[in-house]
Amino acid sequence: MLLMNRARTAAIQLRKINFSFLDSLLLKSLLILFFVATHAGSAQADFTGKVVSVTDGDTIKVLDSSNTQHKVRLTGIDAPERGQPFGTLSRDHLASMVAGKEVRVESDKNDRYGRILGKVWVQPSDCASCGKTLDANHAQILAGMAWWYRYYAKEQSPEDRGRYESAEDEAKARTRGLWRDSNPVNPYDWRKGKR
């Protein structure tokens, strides 16, 4: 009788372990599905809209066709911060290209602050028939109004890496914008120094 009770207890314990394992496996599977579903929904897709605000030299606000406002951080560049030399000039230069204009934003992700990370395309002001063919991110670097953001270079296509690096080299060689400063401090280092 004692042996039989132990056998029953062992069988019950085994069932509990099996159910616990299966319950745990099911719970983990559901959590994975939930994570994938919620993050797949937060991944960005290309969209168009009107620029309603230029925050600084690498951040804009875009109103889409459904009247949803999106904060967009231009990828591949790092512009001077407010209060940093060339910060206002950088913002003004970006505004001259995109403020009040229809833009196309190419994006596939958000940053940790919830901003859409994207490449912003706009119609060049000197070409009424061109469509949205000007890469505003690249134009900011070429004008010497932003650094090429080397830290995130691996997230760019090889073509964009090459174009953005060349644009920075050209802006330096021609001492455009912030490269007129004898010792420009990139925003990453400037932000670290402010803390």
Beta bridge partners of 148: 77
pLDDT in the model for residue 1? 58
Number of domains observed in the structure of the chain: 2
Instruction: Quote the Cα angle for 53-56-57, to 5°.
Output: 115
Same domain as 183, residue 158: yes
Asked about 81 being catalytic, the answer comes back as yes
Distance CA 42, CA 130 (A): 32
pLDDT, averaged in runs of 10, over the chain (195 residues): 58 56 49 41 76 98 97 97 95 98 96 96 94 97 97 93 98 97 92 74
pLDDT in the model for residue 193? 81
pTM score of the predicted model: 0.77
**Residue 125 per-residue DSSP state:** T
Asked about 82 being catalytic, the answer comes back as no
81, 91, 163, 168: the active-site residue: 81
Q: Which domain holds residue 185?
A: 47-194
Same domain as 30, residue 62: no
91, 115, 163, 168: the active-site residue: 115
Asked about 73 being catalytic, the answer comes back as yes
73, 91, 104, 163: the active-site residue: 73
H helices of 47-195, in order, are 87-98, 136-142, 158-173, 187-194
